[in-house]
Structure 1
């Protein structure tokens, strides 16, 4: 009966046909997840070799890295006719900010603390500026609870200040720490969840993730090649990153008990570690001939998704 199950290669091919990754976003995923822990540098020719099996052709990749350099995500070095790429300092900072949301998720405990950003009106041309800061704050997980007032249920003052500094609005906005005082006596910010955050949209993305990658976890039991393990790791992280960076990651106390993000994160962690060693073998084969730029894997990687041991225990329990 098991012969009727889709093979891993079939599932990967079907995913690439149905939802091909965007080149720029995929580059950022690969640089942050796979290249940065090995020293952070990669030759353009090697990057082409890594993304080609994922549906990105050379011309599209070259255009994408050019734009990422122009947007200060990447920096490049010319070595004769060859180009070496790495995350810029700005790109590294954005990657560090995203890593907690990607690999760790929300803290298990929440003490009821909120971060508020208040934007008074600030002069001519303020409408476009307010739209820009709104977009940046919502990307960082904040919800708009009233015109010009944004809230997030944990201490996120540092990311808020970074957004305001980036847009040169630090002197024109209030960043406040808060605790609700209406317990049992009136409206709570948590009562506004449906108004402030599109949780149903995020929930559906998590359900789709589990429906897509759950069968792949089953398929790898029949074996996989290092190139397939690498492709699956890249595609899993690419899709996961796309979802969680639009998830405000509210505390568990504010989410329904059957929140699909919990099961999706569990699946992502198990799948990540199941393919990790073979994926690394593929990276070693493609990049390992240049030890000056492809360095030994940094140990911090082993803490991702709660660590390899936690993932193994979760799989055994399932």
Structure 2
């Protein structure tokens, strides 16, 4: 059973939006059981989800949905069910992981501005696919080393003005990033040393951090580091997420199972 620290951890992030049970489960398996052959025993999964304040019936519904969607598979090992990602679930998790677990960007990263002859949804889709983000009508920013699509006029980026840096930010997510930043700051101040948390506690903590970060960072393309404001809430969240995940490293599934049994 999770320790007395678990309720405080859950409370710090529970007020944020997007806490759908099936999505929490995707975050958990993506963080803890992404490897080939990794599986979480049913009783251990039940303890983790209970610590996340998920009711047993909601846990069952989420498992059923993810099995039907082809994300999870369940097999019996004696009297215990073991749950794991399907090949599709592993592929999708692996595809998202580089963005979720990327280190904070270098704010001195060189960038370039690409100007296109036409605008519109088709042009934007082409530029996004090439690694560029829109910052003005027919204008897109990307890392210096990325080759833009044919027909673009490219200018090397210099010291970017504040308005251009703000244009590179996902403004629709500003309130969400601000709320996450406040929650992470409170969490960082309240958390005990790593040694005070069990492996089960750490699994719960990491699930919540990864989940709340994942649901925002995957909604928008990454901006070149040279266009990121150091006081942007999304960048400050990235710093804290990176620090907290390093402070509380991922335990092995065997360690989580042992902590569950000890409780």
Deviation at 1:76, TM superposition (A): 2.5
Distance in structure 2 (CA, Å) of the matches to 1:199 and 1:179: 26
Corresponding residue of 1:181: 153
Does structure 1 retain, via aligned residues, the 8 Å contact 2:73–2:83?
yes
Partner-residue secondary structure (3-state), 1:36? coil
Corresponding residue of 2:11: 14
Equivalent of 1:267, from 223, 233, 240?
240
Corresponding residue of 1:245: 218
Compared CA separation, residues 288 and 104, structure 1 to 2 (3 A): farther
Distance in structure 1 (CA, Å) of the matches to 2:10 and 2:218: 25
1:93 aligns with 2:91: yes
Distance in structure 2 (CA, Å) of the matches to 1:287 and 1:37: 21
Does structure 1 retain, via aligned residues, the 8 Å contact 2:40–2:253?
no
Deviation at 1:24, TM superposition (A): 0.6
1:55 aligns with 2:26: no
Compared CA separation, residues 278 and 44, structure 1 to 2 (3 A): closer
Question: Of Structure 1 and Structure 2, which has the larger fraction of its residues in helix?
Answer: 1
Gaps of 5+ in 2: 132-147, 157-162
Compared CA separation, residues 68 and 281, structure 1 to 2 (3 A): closer
Does structure 1 retain, via aligned residues, the 8 Å contact 2:72–2:86?
yes
Distance in structure 2 (CA, Å) of the matches to 1:192 and 1:218: 33
Compared CA separation, residues 112 and 88, structure 1 to 2 (3 A): farther
Partner-residue secondary structure (3-state), 1:249? coil
Deviation at 1:151, TM superposition (A): 4.1
Distance in structure 2 (CA, Å) of the matches to 1:277 and 1:266: 18
Deviation at 1:63, TM superposition (A): 1.2
Deviation at 1:53, TM superposition (A): 0.8
Partner-residue secondary structure (3-state), 2:191? helix
Deviation at 1:70, TM superposition (A): 1.2
Compared CA separation, residues 75 and 178, structure 1 to 2 (3 A): farther
Equivalent of 2:182, from 211, 215, 219?
211
Compared CA separation, residues 26 and 287, structure 1 to 2 (3 A): same
TM-score scaled to structure 1, two decimals? 0.59
**1:119-134 pair list within 5 angstroms:** none
Gaps of 5+ in 1: 1-6, 117-144, 157-175, 185-190, 290-318
Does structure 2 retain, via aligned residues, the 8 Å contact 1:153–1:250?
no
Matched residue pairs, number? 229
Compared CA separation, residues 257 and 54, structure 1 to 2 (3 A): closer
Distance in structure 1 (CA, Å) of the matches to 2:246 and 2:190: 15
Compared CA separation, residues 251 and 152, structure 1 to 2 (3 A): farther
Does structure 1 retain, via aligned residues, the 8 Å contact 2:16–2:180?
no
The answer to which of 15-24 and 28-37 deviates more is 15-24
Compared CA separation, residues 147 and 243, structure 1 to 2 (3 A): closer
1:201 aligns with 2:197: no
Partner-residue secondary structure (3-state), 1:84? strand
1:22-55 deviations in Å (ceiling 9; x for gaps): 2111111111111225942122232112111101
Q: Tell me which of the two structures has the higher relative contact order, counting C-alpha pairs closer than 8 angstroms and 6 or more residues apart.
A: 2
Corresponding residue of 1:126: none
The CA RMSD over aligned residues, in Å, is 3.9
